[in-house]
Amino acid sequence: MTQNFKLGGALAAALVLGTILGGSVSAQTLTMGLRAGPDSIDPHWSTLGSQAEALRHIFDTLVMSDENLGLKPGLATSWKPIDDTTWEFKIREGVKFHDGSELTAEDVKFSIDRIPVVTGPMSMTIYTKQVESTSVADKYTLHVKTKKPAPTLPNDFIRLFVVSKNIGMEARNEQFNSGKAAIGTGPYKFVSWEPKGDLVLERNDNYWGGKQPWAKVIRKEIPSDPARMAALKSGQVDLVNYVPATDYAAMQKDKSVDTFVADSVYFLNLTPNVKETLPKKAKVDGKEIDANPLRDPKVREALDLAIDRKTLVRVVLEGLGRPANQLMPSNFFGGSKSLPERPYDVAKAKQLLADAGYPKGFELDFHCTNNRLPGDAAVCEALSQMWARAGLKVNANALNGTVFFPAQQKGEFSLWMSGWGTLTGEASYTYGSLVHTADPAIGLGAFNKQGYSNPEVDKLLQEGSRTMDDAKRRALFEKVTEISMNDRALIPTVQLQTVWAAKKGMLTIPARVDQETLAYEIKPKS
């Protein structure tokens, strides 16, 4: 069989950034001001994009993706199915870990086997959910046995970070955060890390992918938007990510700054808890009620109809977004082009609430992040105000991600909003994680904390996940998209756009749809 991967894809427009480069490029330090950094140096600790973005510098993945999420060789040079439930991965030869040891199939096997053992705040098992077992065929060949036919396994493995087997299965955060276990094959070596502060890296001169232009990279975590923009203006950093909409408007008129905007894969989605009882009871006329209003499809439709998505984009995000009608771009594998634009109709929302038995509305707590993605807290507050027009009292609580995600995973919220990016470019990653009934035994529904369960959706997702025929699989996933969105299992609001900025100068970076800012892709422009 031929190699089953897609090389490259059309390059996104180059992002022209700037810094003042003095002396030889190879002697340069690149300092980046970033909204979020890692929560641990263990690459198997969390699924958050900010975690992956930081640790890609130290650890390579088995399969890599280009700026458009097209698959390309990483530590695996090729992959192919050798029977219905076995994939063969050829491991790149001659690759060295930072400690000088050689990469082999044993290290990849160890990394896959380790993921279920690590218990972080957001389980990485969504990337190995299809794996039954692993076996080493020879020094540079790994066989992965899947629980059933798994056509999307290579897509999942763009988040399979490979660590050295020499660290031992006992290694945890303490060993990684100190640097002792931070042994990767990536373009940069770990120097030091201060939680919520600086991650300092030095160039790996023996990197298999070629020598990098930056001798040193400093990733400064600056969660405050004003502080991050001030750091750019004062010259403390060379570039920043997640430029807020208000600053973007001003920067367009600033001749000392270069900016670039691009669509991203991240969507801000609402999740209604549809379990029989809510963690904190809703109120009617100030009195707690036992019923969970969100279980009623009419109530969920009312919440949806009361959202003015065009205003969210135009006013709240100042144009840096698009109204959303599903959880990922419609042109992704399994996205639907048949779903209509979500209407805005407050009068109908009020009528639906009355029909559901809430003519005076009800009161409910609503949680969201305030530092995960651009505009998250602002959109959160705007939604609360929009729902008020429909007669609902929705108390918005914007939390730091370090507080929000553990609480969300424990099921502490009644209604919440968070960002989700379809980082594999296909529907099973998103819908299999968010709308399939939570089923740890088969590894689906890992992030379904709202209690949504639809047997038809489950059947379609499971059938699609084992269908090797692309056309048939796409059709199955399109049905999943349409059913779950009409059920309002989650309610999409907006697709975000991303802005980077830097001083005028000579830097280029491919604009990634996953919003990642990677030092090894930032090049001096000669």
Candidates 216, 374, 352; CA nearest to 296 is 352
User: 457 Cβ partners below 8 Å, 6+ apart?
Assistant: 431, 435, 436, 480, 483, 484, 487, 489
Q: Does residue 214 surpass a pLDDT of 50?
A: yes
**Residues 224-229, mean pLDDT to the nearest whole number:** 94
Query: Which of 169-173, 241-245, 456-460 shows the lowest mean pLDDT across its residues?
Result: 241-245
CA atoms of 431 and 328, how far apart (whole Å): 10
Which pLDDT value is given to residue 121? Answer: 81
Going by pLDDT thresholds of 50, 70 and 90, the confidence category of residue 298 is: very high
Residue 350: per-residue pLDDT: 98
Output the CA torsion sign for 367, 371, 376, 382: positive
For the cut 70, the answer to whether the pLDDT of residue 293 exceeds it is: yes
pLDDT single digits (tens) 393-433: 999 999 998 899 999 999 999 999 999 999 888 999 999 99
Is the pLDDT at 3 greater than 60, yes or no? no
Q: What is the pLDDT of residues 84-141, one digit of tens each?
A: 999 999 999 999 999 999 999 999 999 999 999 997 887 899 899 899 999 999 999 9
Q: Give the pLDDT of residue 17.
A: 36
pLDDT over 70 (residue 13): no
Strand ranges of the sheet holding 76-83, from the earlier edge strand across to the other edge: 76-83, 86-91, 141-146, 131-138
Cα atoms in the Cβ-side hemisphere of radius 13 Å centred on 73: 14
CATH of 24-242, one of 3.90.580.10, 3.30.70.1340, 3.40.50.300, 3.40.190.10: 3.40.190.10
pLDDT band at 442 (very low <50, low <70, confident <90, very high): confident
pLDDT class for 18, splitting at 50, 70, 90?
Answer: very low
Q: What is the mean pLDDT of residues 350-355?
A: 98
pLDDT of residue 506: 62
Read off the pLDDT of residues 381-390 as tens digits, 9 standing for 90 and up.
Answer: 999 999 999 9
H-helix or E-strand spanning residue 95: none
Instruction: Give the pLDDT score at 144.
Output: 98
| Rounded average pLDDT over 54-80 | 95
Average pLDDT over residues 185-210: 97
Tens-digit pLDDT profile for residues 20-40: 333 333 459 999 999 999 999
Per-residue pLDDT, 259: 85
Whole-angstrom Cα distance, residue 22 to residue 373?
A: 33
pLDDT tens sequence across 470-524:
999 999 999 999 999 999 999 999 999 989 998 877 677 677 888 899 999 988 8
Q: For the chain, what is the mean pLDDT?
A: 91
Give bridge partners of residue 321 from the DSSP assignment: 496
For the segment 291-306, the average pLDDT, to the nearest whole number, is 98
Architecture of domain 263-497: Roll (3.10)
Residues 56-74 as b/e (b if ≥16 CB within 10 A, e otherwise) read bbbbbbbbbbbbbbebebb
Q: State the pLDDT confidence band at 149, using cuts at 50, 70 and 90.
A: very high
Measured CA to CA, the distance from residue 312 to residue 356 in angstroms comes to: 27
Contact between 222 and 34 (Cβ < 8 Å): yes
**Quick one: average pLDDT of 263-271?**
95
Residue-range domain boundaries for the chain: 24-242, 263-497
Tokens (6 digits) for 190: 């770990």
Higher pLDDT, 13 or 339: 339
What's the pLDDT score for residue 330? 94
